[in-house]
Structures are given as C-alpha cells and as structure tokens.
C-alpha cells in the first residue's frame, strides 16, 4: 500500500466532485437548492471566502457556476497563497446527501440516535424556553456553550455573555491548550499558541521537526507554502516522529529519527546538554536579550536582591510586576543591576555580602549535566550519536536554525515540560526573532461586529478549577471537559444545558465514554452541525448548520503566518433544505430570550443591516493605521495584508526573554508549598518528566501493548463530517489506506498479525471499548506505536454509520479510547497517553 496519491489523480477527482454521481446530487437539487439566479447561468462567479474544511480559515475563492459551487481556489492576492487537498473536496461536502436537512428532536434514548423532524420554530422555542427558565432563576451560568466550527462567530459570544453565562468553552484543550502555550510561554511571559510563531523555512539552514509535520499534516496557508519554499531553497531537516513523515523528509539532507511516544522532552534536553557542553550557545544573545545572567540563590532559586515594582499598564489598567535584577559585573568585580553593568557574567558562582550566588545560566547548565545523549537514548530510543549530530547541525547553522515550535500537542501528560525543553534549545541558540529562525506572528486586531457587551458576573467553571483545584495554567477559554468534571463532582455547580455549535465534544474529547455517562444530569443538549456526529447521538435537539460557502461571516484576522492579514468571507451559494447559519440562530434566540431593549441596544442595528453593518463596525478607524484596509478592498480581493515581521511580544517580569522563568518560579514555589503532587511540571530549570503511560508501564510496554498515536494527513482532519464523511476523500483514502493502523513488522510477527488483517483495537483499561481496523505492517512506524489517522471511522459508535454513508467502516478515533484524565497543572487532554492492545479478529 502506498501512502501517496498522485497530484494529477487528486485534481481529476477534485474537478468531478461537484458532479460525481456518487454524490447523489439529485436529492439536493430537487428539493433544497434555490434555483440559481438566471443571470448566473453559464457564467462563473468568483466569491472571496475562507476555507473551513479545517480550522485554519485559509483565504480562498469560491467558484460558482449555475448556482453551484464547483471548486475552491487559492486567493491570488496573497504573496503566500495556497489551499490544500481537503479544501478541494469542498463541493463533495456541500452536495453530500448525508447533510442534516431539518431540525430534529430526539425520540429514542440518548445515544440511540433516533430523531424526528420538527420545524425551526418549534426547535427554537423549545431551546428558548429552557434558556429563559435558567435566566429567570438567576442561574444562566448553568448553560454551557461549546463553539468550534461556529457559523456565528462575532455574534455568539456577545449573546451568551449578555444572556449571563461565562461558560464559553472552546476545543483548544484537545489541540494545543496550555501545554504548548505555557511550555513556550514561560520564555515570553504569556501563553504562546501554535498561532504565535512562524518558522522562517525559506531562510533557514537547518530545522528539527519534532512536534509537527508541516507537509504531511495540516496547515497550508501560510506554513505549508513557507515550508515548500524552504525545501526548494535546500533547508536541511530532521524529523523526530513516531511515524515516517514522508513528505517532510524526502530528499537529500533530510532524515527521520523514530522516537518513543511522549519522550520528545528527553530528546530536547539532550540537545540542550550538547549545546551547552560544546559551548555552542549564542553567548551575546543570552547576555543581552535574556535573563541568563541573573544572580540567584542556588538553594531557593530566588533572584538575589532584586528590585520589584508594580506598574499599572496604561492600556489595560492592570497591575504589572516589573523585576530589576542583579548580575555579576566582571568589569567592576561586584554585583550590580543589569542596566548598570558593563560586562555581565553569563556563568559562575560568586560571593556577595557573604552569600553564595550563581547566575541563572549556571543553574541551567548544572541541571542539564545529567541529560546526556546516552541517557536520552535509553528513554527515546534515538541513538546518542544521532542526537549529537543534530546538536552539531544546530550549533553550526545558528541562528538560522530552529526546533519547530509545534502544533497539535495535547497528547501526553508531560506536554508542558516537552515544550519547555523545546523552548530552551531555541533560546540557547538565539533563534527567536531572527531571519532564518523563528518569528512572532503579527496581527491587526479588529473590533467586534456588535457593540461591546458587559461581561457576565457568574464564576466560570474553568476559572474555578484554575484558581481552586490545582490547574494554574489552565486556559479558561478552553477546558471543555471541566464542564464534565463539574457534572461529575458538582463543583462549582452542575451545568444543565449544553449548546454545541460545530463542536463534536464527544468525538473530539479524550475520555468520551466516561463523559457520556454524565450526560444524564443535563436537561437539554443542543447540537448545531452540518453532519451527524458522536455528540449528536446524545442531543435532544439537532440544528442543521450551513457549510462555509453558504453564509456570510465576520472578518477574520487570526492567521498563522508572518504578515498581519485580514480576510473576508462572503456567501457563495444558498444552503440546502432547511439548513441555516448559526448567526441566524443566535439572532433568533436573542430575540426570544433577551429583553427587547437589550436586543435593540446590541443586536438591533445588525438585525436590520446584516453583515454589511458588522463588517463596517469591525474595521472602524483601522484604515488610518493600516492604509488600504478597507471594506471595498476586502470585498473585491478578499484579503488585506501588511508587512512581514519577526517581532515576538514579551510580557515577562524582566521584559526580556526569560530563559529562567520567574513566573514558573513563582507558581512552582506556591504549588510546592501547597503540596501539589505535580508541582515540578512548573519547575523553572530543565527537568525530565515522563508521560503518564511511562509511569503506568514502568517504562516498558508488554509485547501486546502499544501507544496509539494519531496524526493528520493533507487529506483528512478532525472529527467533522465535512472531511470524514466526504465521498471524494473516501475515494482517495482507499489509496492511502486511511482505515489502517500501522504496525511495525517486529511487533506484528510476535503477535501473528499479517498485512491486511482486520484487528480489534481497545484500551487496556477498558477492553469493552472496541474498534476495528485493517493493519498495515510497515517499518515506517516506531515499534511501540500503533499509528492511525485521526478520527476517521465510527469507532465505538457504530450507529453513526446510519447517518454517515461515506465514512470508512474501519479505523480508530483515539478519543474513544483515551482516559478522562487531565494533564497536570494545565488541564489538557493527554489524548494518546494511554496503553492500547490489539487482537486479531
Ligand atoms: S489548511 Fe486546507 S482545509 Fe484547512 S482551511 Fe486551509 S485550505 Fe482549508
């Protein structure tokens, strides 16, 4: 079986998607589609929009002919323009007969998947009456809203806040959440999401792909195109991955190092060890730009005699701590504040007023001593000489090198430490904000499409767990499973209504079998989505959503790229049957639930003028600062972009890149004083912390045990029907074997499993949760790993197949198997951190 499909074949399939007989177009044309405007016949219309086949929102052009979307193209008005294979399958998603067509009401038990058709009016009134009840009781916070592929962006949050609930909980805890964000954020003093950095592949000499596969995974705009340019420019690459990331490492100067799952932190620590041992760090950068010279007490790790000021930020009015610290000035041979020093010492131990002090860098060097490549080899299975070779390449090429700052990361309980050590390597090499290194993503912040609404007063569930339950790094905007923890414990209160818009909170959450058992405590579950999913099976009301070409949307500015960009999204075609956009639903609920004067004050103008009003509000006053950023240009070209930038915002206490994080020090001390069992996850010095599975298996898996690792391909993503139930992608998947699990030949032989066998896959802790998959026996996977593409099949919810005819029968969704556990201190999903078994059918 091959893992690739030819470009020609893909494009051919793409071009027939809108007309292919397997899409059963007759269903939709006859009943649902509004007749195309007669002036449209035979003419191609091009509409600026943003692709939503995954979450990246790449600016694109929808090509419409005879009232139907026939294809998506990259937006040509961008210097880095591109769309991926998934986006080319948009017509097959749009004209898929499995689209949800009408509002549905549950008639069977929750989970059974039995529903009857109801009218929109009945659906909305049923929802509104429950919402009114909780508002009138003074308990609006008991309503929890889960957005993801929301079709009401810009309107939903103001509505729920006006309604009175602070519980708007995104999906980020399954994706990057605080493990990535604070592991790297420690160096900059604020959370750094995957959307905070860009890798300068075109100008880099060498890169390590440790936590991302930019070619074989997801993102295109702009990371994929930068990556492609880098490859054409000859960037050398090493990919550290549990599976062979084919597209990323093909060609000369590129290599794959298979790694044991969840041990990337050990690899990074050994790199740091080697960089320090060979004095391969950027001394000037460390002295000037970081707090490496800070004098600290070697016992308590506290800075020596700092000056601490609290300043009020003129913009936010929030208090901000500023730390002025002392260094050892080699010119004066004494300790002085850094801004007074002529020649600060980077390393060393000194005596100041009878006290022993060392530099923060000295403490880091000492902490790294034990993390030799030989030590890391035992943990990661990567040979020590390979680790040394990677370190050498990094040292030689600095600062035009990097360890890629990574992507979907919430895979293991130790993820925050993994990213902390990754950040250390990049800081030692001085690659931040450098050409050929790592840049910060610049953004133009737009206004909301509605006037600003007051914030709800009630306590947010996630804030309770952040402040009171030992998750100080939890991102309160994410953490959707804490709503289920609240259901389990009753703390701080039990949610009574779940409203999910484009978020498959069951299929997309680690520990979903445990979560479904808690749903009995919820009075009303509403799911709005274009396709049935695992969460819909438990819904009381299902609302048929539009797909992105069928609606206008708010302007968007959060792109993962090197230039500030704003992009338009306009409706290209009519929605099918009774599908409606979320913005319409939110407006209808606002009308029915809010007081008339509240509605008029915040929604009135929008309700009368539509998105034209919203877009103008979003851009108010911005053209002065950003010439050319006008609505007219956005409507015409679809995008506006500014200048490329490398700058990374710092909000640390010292105002520098903190190689020794004072915020981590503060949290670590507090957690230790409280006796938190995982306080060391916030340790300010380099530290190896194993994943959950390692502790459970005491570092050694049995012969029939695996770690199930999941990944994307450019042709699949997520647990949404637009990709996993897509007739075009299904055809292509047959070629890449998307329904297969990859098993290493050594392990397959021991288990008597052959290529093409069908196996049952189940977690060791719950042998009744069983999914079936075909096997690909291949050396392109680490022997301890069972690799599968992400979320492609019905898995342990076979009843889904009734609604999703184009979903592959076999395949595995990791979320069905993982435990309902939380990554320490930050509350992420630790999706893959669970032991899996396999048996032949
Ligand atoms: S990466 Fe691909 S699927 Fe995702 S938004 Fe961009 S073009 Fe669409």
Is the distance from CB of 183 to CB of 268 less than 8 angstroms? no
Give the model confidence (pLDDT) of 416-428 as tens digits: 999 999 999 999 9
Give the model confidence (pLDDT) of 129-183 as tens digits: 999 999 999 999 999 999 999 999 999 999 999 999 999 999 888 888 789 999 9
Number of other CB atoms surrounding residue 121 within 10 Å: 10
Nearest partner of 806 among 736, 739, 713, judged by Cα = 739
Residue 30 pLDDT exceeds 90 = no
d(CA 788, CA 831): 13
Residue 795 pLDDT exceeds 70 = yes
Candidates 55, 73, 80, 84: which one to mutate for ligand 1, based on the most atoms within 8 Å of Cβ? 84
- Supply 188's token pair: 């900059």
Q: What is the pLDDT of residue 218?
A: 65
Residue with tokens 């002025």: 324
Q: Report whether residue 87 contacts ligand 1, using a CB cutoff of 6 Å.
A: yes
Give the model confidence (pLDDT) of 285-298 as tens digits: 999 999 999 999 99
> What one-character-per-residue DSSP string does 347-393 give?
S-EEEETTEEEEEHHHHHHHHHTT--HHHHHHHH---HHHHHHHHHH
- Average pLDDT over every residue of 750-763: 96
Higher pLDDT, 567 or 3: 567
- Average pLDDT over every residue of 617-643: 96
- Supply 501's token pair: 């818009």
Facing residues of 153 across strands? none
Q: Report whether residue 536 contacts ligand 1, using a CB cutoff of 6 Å.
A: no
d(CA 267, CA 271): 6
Q: What is the pLDDT of residue 35?
A: 46
Residue 210 pLDDT exceeds 70 = yes
Confidence of residue 11 (pLDDT cuts 50, 70, 90): very low
Q: What is the pLDDT of residue 199?
A: 95
E strand spans, 118-184: 143-147
Indicate the helix (H) or strand (E) that contains 63.
strand 59-65
d(CA 653, CA 321): 6
The values of phi and psi at residue 373, to 5°, are: -60, -35
d(CA 637, CA 660): 46
Number of other CB atoms surrounding residue 371 within 10 Å: 25
Residue 22 pLDDT exceeds 70 = no
Residue 517 pLDDT exceeds 70 = yes
Pick from 28-42, 264-278, 496-510: least confident:
28-42
Q: What is the pLDDT of residue 26?
A: 29
CA atoms within 13 A on the CB side of 158: 22
Ligand 1, atom 4: closest residue by C-alpha: 54
Q: Report whether residue 83 contacts ligand 1, using a CB cutoff of 6 Å.
A: yes
Q: Report whether residue 220 contacts ligand 1, using a CB cutoff of 6 Å.
A: yes
All domains of the chain, ordered by start, with CATH? 7-94 (no CATH), 186-303+342-439 (3.40.228.10), 692-840 (2.40.40.20)
- How far away, in angstroms, is 80 Cα from ligand 1 center? 14
Higher pLDDT, 11 or 92: 92
- Supply 88's token pair: 């080319």
Is the Cα torsion angle 188, 194, 197, 200 positive or negative in sign?
positive
Confidence of residue 221 (pLDDT cuts 50, 70, 90): low
Ligand 1, atom 2: closest residue by C-alpha: 84
Give the model confidence (pLDDT) of 572-606 as tens digits: 999 999 999 999 999 999 999 999 999 999 999 99
Give the model confidence (pLDDT) of 631-666 as tens digits: 999 999 999 999 999 999 999 999 999 999 999 999
d(CA 578, CA 758): 40
- Rg for the chain (alpha carbons), in Å? 27
- Give the angle subtended at the CA of 203 by the CAs of 199 and 209, to the nearest 5°: 40
Is the distance from CB of 312 to CB of 319 less than 8 angstroms? yes
Q: What is the pLDDT of residue 39?
A: 58
Strand 68-74 and strand 524-529: the pairing is unpaired
Residue 401 pLDDT exceeds 80 = yes
Secondary structure, 3-state, 256-313: EEECCCCCHHHHHHHHHHHHHHCCCCCHHHHHHHECCCCEECCCCCCECCCEEEEEEC
Residue 311 pLDDT exceeds 60 = yes
Facing residues of 309 across strands? 322
Supply the mean pLDDT for the chain.
Answer: 92
- How far away, in angstroms, is 60 Cα from ligand 1 center? 9
d(CA 641, CA 778): 44
Cβ within 8 Å of residue 271, ≥6 positions away = 208, 387, 390, 391, 394, 403, 425
Facing residues of 323 across strands? 308
Q: Report whether residue 481 contacts ligand 1, using a CB cutoff of 6 Å.
A: no
Q: Report whether residue 49 contacts ligand 1, using a CB cutoff of 6 Å.
A: no
Q: What is the pLDDT of residue 622?
A: 96
Ligand 1, atom 6: closest residue by C-alpha: 58
Q: Report whether residue 446 contacts ligand 1, using a CB cutoff of 6 Å.
A: no
- How far away, in angstroms, is 724 Cα from ligand 1 center? 14
The values of phi and psi at residue 145, to 5°, are: -115, 125
Percentage of residues in the chain having pLDDT higher than 90 = 80
Confidence of residue 484 (pLDDT cuts 50, 70, 90): very high
Residue 84 pLDDT exceeds 90 = no
Candidates 52, 55, 56, 194: which one to mutate for ligand 1, based on the most atoms within 8 Å of Cβ? 56
Candidates 10, 49, 53, 72: which one to mutate for ligand 1, based on the most atoms within 8 Å of Cβ? 53
- Average pLDDT over every residue of 392-417: 95
Residue 461 pLDDT exceeds 80 = yes
- The b-or-e profile of 212-226 (16+ CB within 10 A means b, else e) is bbbbbbbbbbbbbbb
Confidence of residue 40 (pLDDT cuts 50, 70, 90): low
Nearest partner of 810 among 766, 841, 836, 767, judged by Cα = 841
Ligand 1, atom 7: closest residue by C-alpha: 83
- Supply 431's token pair: 């690659």
Q: What is the pLDDT of residue 718?
A: 72
Q: What is the pLDDT of residue 96?
A: 97
Burial class of residue 136 in the structure, from the number of CB atoms within 10 Å of its CB (0-12 exposed, 13-18 middle, 19+ buried) = exposed
Is the distance from CB of 618 to CB of 446 less than 8 angstroms? yes
- Average pLDDT over every residue of 87-111: 96
Percentage of residues in the chain having pLDDT higher than 70 = 94
Q: Report whether residue 225 contacts ligand 1, using a CB cutoff of 6 Å.
A: no
- Average pLDDT over every residue of 720-737: 88
Is the distance from CB of 719 to CB of 814 less than 8 angstroms? no
Q: Report whether residue 57 contacts ligand 1, using a CB cutoff of 6 Å.
A: yes
Is the distance from CB of 786 to CB of 743 less than 8 angstroms? yes
| 275 Ramachandran zone, left/alpha/beta (phi>0; psi -120 to 50) | alpha
Atom of ligand 1 nearest to the CA of 714: 2
- How far away, in angstroms, is 548 Cα from ligand 1 center? 12
Instruction: Indicate the DSSP class of residue 454.
Output: P
Cβ within 8 Å of residue 266, ≥6 positions away = 371, 375, 376, 379, 380, 688
CA 34 to chain centre: 36
Atom of ligand 1 nearest to the CA of 723: 3
Confidence of residue 38 (pLDDT cuts 50, 70, 90): low
Is the distance from CB of 172 to CB of 462 less than 8 angstroms? no
Q: Report whether residue 51 contacts ligand 1, using a CB cutoff of 6 Å.
A: yes
Q: Report whether residue 86 contacts ligand 1, using a CB cutoff of 6 Å.
A: yes
Q: Report whether residue 219 contacts ligand 1, using a CB cutoff of 6 Å.
A: yes
Is the distance from CB of 479 to CB of 505 less than 8 angstroms? no
Is the distance from CB of 380 to CB of 262 less than 8 angstroms? no
CA atoms within 13 A on the CB side of 16: 14
Pick from 17-26, 39-48, 689-698, 801-810: least confident:
17-26
Residue 4 pLDDT exceeds 50 = no
- How far away, in angstroms, is 73 Cα from ligand 1 center? 11
Kindly list the distances between the CA atom of residue 541 and the CA atoms of 110, 577, 579, in Å, as whole numbers in the listed order: 11, 17, 14
| 279 Ramachandran zone, left/alpha/beta (phi>0; psi -120 to 50) | left
Atom of ligand 1 nearest to the CA of 53: 3
Q: Report whether residue 81 contacts ligand 1, using a CB cutoff of 6 Å.
A: no
Q: Report whether residue 715 contacts ligand 1, using a CB cutoff of 6 Å.
A: no
- Supply 763's token pair: 């977690």
């Amino acid at each position: 079986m091959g893992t690739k499909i030819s470009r020609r074949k893909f494009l051919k399939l793409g071009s027939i998607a809108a007309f292919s007989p397997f899409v059963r177009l007759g269903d939709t044309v006859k009943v649902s589609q509004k007749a195309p405007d007669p002036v449209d016949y035979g003419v191609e219309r091009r509409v600026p929009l943003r692709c939503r086949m995954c979450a990246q929102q790449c600016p694109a052009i929808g090509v419409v002919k005879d009232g139907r979307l026939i294809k998506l193209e990259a937006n040509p008005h961008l210097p880095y323009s591109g769309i991926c294979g998934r986006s080319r399958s948009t017509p097959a998603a749009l004209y898929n007969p499995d689209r949800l067509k009408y509002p549905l009401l549950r008639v069977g038990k929750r989970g059974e998947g039995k529903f009857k058709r109801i009218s929109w009016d009945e659906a909305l009134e049923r929802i509104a009456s429950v919402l009114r009840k909780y508002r009138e009781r003074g308990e609006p916070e008991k309503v929890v809203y889960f957005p993801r592929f929301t079709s009401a962006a810009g309107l939903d949050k103001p509505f729920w806040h006006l309604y009175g609930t602070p519980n708007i909980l995104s999906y980020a805890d399954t994706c990057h959440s605080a493990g990535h964000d604070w592991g790297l954020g420690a160096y900059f003093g604020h959370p750094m999401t995957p959307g905070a950095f860009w890798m300068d592949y075109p100008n880099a000499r060498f890169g390590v792909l440790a936590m991302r596969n930019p070619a074989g995974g997801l993102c295109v705009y702009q990371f994929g195109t930068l990556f492609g340019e880098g490859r054409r420019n000859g960037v050398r690459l090493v990919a550290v991955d549990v599976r062979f990331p084919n597209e990323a490492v093909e060609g000369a100067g590129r290599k794959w190092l298979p790694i044991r799952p969840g041990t990337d932190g050990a690899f990074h620590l050994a790199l740091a060890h080697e960089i320090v041992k060979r004095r391969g760090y950027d001394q000037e950068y460390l002295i000037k730009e970081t707090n490496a010279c800070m004098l600290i007490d070697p016992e308590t790790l506290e800075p020596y005699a700092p000056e601490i000021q609290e300043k009020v930020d003129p913009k936010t009015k929030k208090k901000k701590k500023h730390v002025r610290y002392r260094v050892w000035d080699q010119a004066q041979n004494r300790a002085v504040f850094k801004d007074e020093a002529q020649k600060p010492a980077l390393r060393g131990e000194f005596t100041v007023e009878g006290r022993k002090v060392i530099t923060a860098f000295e403490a880091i060097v000492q902490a790294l001593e034990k993390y030799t490549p030989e030590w890391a080899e035992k943990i990661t299975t990567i040979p020590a000489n390979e680790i040394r070779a990677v370190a050498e390449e990094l040292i030689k090429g600095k600062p035009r090198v990097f360890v890629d700052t990574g992507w979907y990361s919430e895979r293991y309980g130790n993820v925050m430490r993994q990213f902390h050590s990754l950040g250390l390597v990049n800081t030692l090499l001085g690659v931040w904000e450098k050409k050929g290194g790592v840049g910060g993503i610049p953004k133009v912040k737009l206004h909301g499409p509605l006037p600003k609404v007051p914030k709800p007063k009630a306590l947010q569930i996630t804030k309770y767990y952040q402040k009171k339950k030992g998750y100080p790094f939890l991102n309160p905007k994410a953490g959707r499973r804490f709503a289920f923890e609240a259901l389990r414990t009753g703390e701080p209160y039990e949610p009574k209504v779940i409203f999910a818009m484009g978020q498959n909170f069951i299929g997309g959450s680690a520990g979903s079998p445990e979560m479904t058992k808690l749903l009995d405590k919820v009075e009303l579950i509403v799911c709005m989505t274009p396709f049935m999913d695992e969460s819909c099976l438990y819904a009381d009301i299902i609302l048929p959503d539009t797909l992105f070409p069928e609606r206008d949307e708010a302007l968007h500015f959060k792109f993962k790229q090197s230039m500030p960009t704003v992009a338009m999204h306009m409706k290209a075609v009519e929605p099918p049957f009774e599908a409606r956009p979320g913005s319409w639903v939110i407006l209808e609920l606002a009308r029915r639930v809010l007081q008339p004067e509240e509605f008029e004050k915040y929604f009135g103008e929008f309700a009368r003028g539509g998105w034209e009003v919203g877009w103008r509000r979003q851009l108010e006053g911005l053209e002065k600062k950003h010439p050319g950023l006008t609505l007219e240009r956005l409507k015409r070209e679809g995008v506006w972009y500014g200048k490329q930038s490398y700058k990374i915002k710092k909000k640390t206490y010292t105002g520098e890149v903190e190689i020794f994080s004072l915020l981590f020090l503060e949290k670590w001390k507090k957690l230790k004083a409280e006796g938190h069992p995982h306080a060391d996850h916030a340790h300010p010095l380099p530290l190896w912390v194993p994943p959950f599975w390692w502790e459970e298996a005491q570092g050694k898996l049995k012969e029939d045990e695996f770690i199930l690792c999941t990944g994307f391909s450019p042709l699949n993503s997520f647990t949404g029907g637009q990709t996993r139930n897509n007739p075009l992608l299904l055809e292509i998947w047959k070629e890449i074997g998307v329904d297969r699990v990859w098993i290493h030949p050594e392990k397959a032989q021991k288990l008597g499993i052959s290529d093409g066998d069908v196996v049952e896959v189940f977690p060791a802790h719950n042998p009744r949760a069983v999914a079936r998959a075909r096997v690909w026996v291949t050396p392109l996977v680490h022997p301890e790993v069972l690799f599968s593409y992400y979320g492609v099949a019905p898995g342990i919810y076979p009843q889904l197949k009734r609604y999703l005819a184009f979903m592959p029968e076999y395949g595995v969704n990791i979320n069905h198997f993982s435990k309902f556990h939380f990554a320490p201190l930050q509350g992420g999903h630790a999706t893959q951190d669970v032991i899996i078994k396999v048996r032949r059918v």
